[in-house]
Amino acid sequence: MCGFCGFLTSDGDRDPAAMQDALGRMNDTIRHRGPDGDGEWVDAAAGVALGHRRLAIVDLSPLGRQPMASADGRWVIAYNGEIYNYRDLRAELEAAGHVFRGQSDTEVLVEMVAARGVAATARRLVGIFALALWDRAAQTLYLVRDQIGVKPLYWGRFGGTLLFGSQSKALRAHPAFRAAVDRDALAAYMRHNYVPAPHSIYRGVRKLEPGTILTVRPGAEPESETYWDLSAAVRDGIAGRLDLSDAEAAERLEALLMDAVGRQMVADVPLGAFLSGGIDSSTVVALMQAQSDRPVRTFTIGFAEAGFDEAAAARAVADHLGTDHTELRVEPRHALDVIPRLADWYDEPFADSSQIPTLLVSELTRRSVTVALSGDGGDELFAGYNRYFWGAGLWRRLGPLPAGLRAAGAAAIRALPPAGWDALFAPVPARLRPRLPGDKLHKLAGVLAAGGPDALYRGLITHWEAPDALVIGAREPRGLLWDDGVAARVPDFVERMQYLDTATYLPDDILAKVDRASMAVALEARVPLLDHRVVEFAWRLPMHQKIRDGRGKWLLRRVLDRHVPRDLVERPKMGFGVPIDSWLRGPLRDWAEALLDERRLRDDGLFDPAPIRARWAEHLSGRRNWQYLLWSVLMVQAWQDRWDTAPAAPSLTASAA
């Protein structure tokens, strides 16, 4: 739920009216995250200000309003998220004699901090959260982010002022903020299609990493402390594998997921779920329906274009479970309506094109409910991505071959264009045929000459292969994906890909996408598969209970078998994509051409125009499908139009006409 923002300044001028005005402008930028109310708290003498926008979920009364002070007056909190074990923590505090004023999880959280301290409280929390805590006695600010990184938190120092908030647009609204593009971060974005943490698109602004507490004391540099560590959970899981029969493992997993789902169904507002008809969302909905005395509200969207439509599968699962199902058929005009708003909601460049259907399904869902459960996380935890099989299988077969022979194989693949490979795969039954096989083969050809499995993985997740050359004056930061120590800590290649995806792609792409899309329409999205207890359990499972008979999510499928017939969900993985390739040649062509204009690219001074223009020409000709690479550039250009002073592009309405 909600969004928050604030600042801590050591500058000499702490005029209360000026601080209040700055906080108000910051808070207004995140109004969409919390339309049910706002709150502001300023201590001018201490130089601190906390703002909050409320999406009321639990305890809708004024007693749940933020910022909220502890009963003893020492602590003040502003926070975004939900604490799913707040009733357990409340009972513990009540047993110690504490008397509560209301029923909100916010009050439990701030009183737990008052009783146990920040770090001890963070380690006890089960939930999704980002929060700011001000200790009035010690004059110390704490920023805390949840274990997996479901909820966002940006922070940055500008002169003597530290700014923070749920989205970077809140920081921009403060007069101390200076907007300067971090070219190095932009280069990283061109590789990943998102800006990886701890970087942001702005120089001087950082994303607080998952499982972290940032402490800001008077006159001292901010200090970072990890209270929950994914790498430690992975290490402990590998060292302490569970020795359970398949039946026992399925029983344990179902009980854990049932508890996670049940806790996340607590809300004082209407609640539903996203349903694609795949393994992950179907499992979440099945466990919801098993604990509900009325039909669960489920929502899905479908596409007319072949290869992108999962609506029929979702409808079949909904019919079997008896949910109250709503479906929207997406047409190009729906996307045209959404695309101009993307730079508003994703207030730094973000180029996962599934942001479009995610926003559309969020809008559909918000018409009926305020909270929706999602199936995100199943692929990372239970080995569901195709690259785990393609990448590991490829390296197992081809890695021992001489590098020259692998290079020759790559050349042979590239000799046939993607469309040619698509035609060759056409006779293969749909249930066995991957989507866009030509693109996938050309992707693999680009990494066949890799020097090792980790280089192969980087190639599989890379979009622009030489981002330093593309972004003028940039030097791409090298993070976890280049850490040679990861292979020693996680020896198995598939598990290593899972770990790297969970540490990077999951929080910075998948969860960021869902947060911005859902919060754009004031919908809270919850992710029960990413309860950190589920994460820890999944890492203790041996690989044969994740991958068996060449398929991932083996144990998760067995849990779902207890609720949904296997033939309703067993089909090739589709993802949540949209036909950007054909839209760029059709209704989006004029819009894209204006943003990719060579003169504009040169005048902006961020990109070398030559490789971009070459790929645009190839895409328009139909010789190659460069949809993802082009989309990443388009999202930067659209972001510049919205947040800087780049020339405006033609309207999409005109393009569609």
- Residues with Cβ within 8 Å of 2's Cβ and at least 6 positions away in sequence, in order, are 33, 34, 52, 53, 54, 55, 66, 79, 80, 81, 166
| Cα–Cα dist 181/157, whole Å | 15
Q: What HEC string does 169-206 produce?
A: HHHHCCCCCCCCECHHHHHHHHHHCCCCCCCCCECCEE
28-45: burial string, b at 16+ Cβ within 10 Å, e else: ebbebbbebbbbbbbbee
Please, what is the end-to-end C-alpha distance for the chain in angstroms?
A: 39
| Cα–Cα dist 610/612, whole Å | 5
Residues composing the chain: 657
- Scanning 478-588, the segments in alpha helix (DSSP H) are 485-489, 493-500, 512-520, 532-540, 554-561, 580-585
With 0-12 / 13-18 / 19 or more C-beta atoms within 10 angstroms meaning exposed / middle / buried, residue 58 is: buried
The DSSP call for residue 548 is B
**Cβ atoms of residues 360 and 326 within 8 Å:** no
Q: Dig out the tokens for 47 from the structure.
A: 């130089």
DSSP letters, 461-500, are T-SSS-HHHHBTT------GGG-THHHHHS-SHHHHHHHH
Pairing of strands 48-54, 161-165: unpaired
- Residues with Cβ within 8 Å of 647's Cβ and at least 6 positions away in sequence, in order, are 600, 641
- Catalytic-role residue among 2, 93, 538, 638: 2
Q: Catalytic annotation on 2?
A: yes
User: What does R_g of the chain's alpha carbons equal in angstroms?
Assistant: 25
Hey, which residues are catalytic here? 2
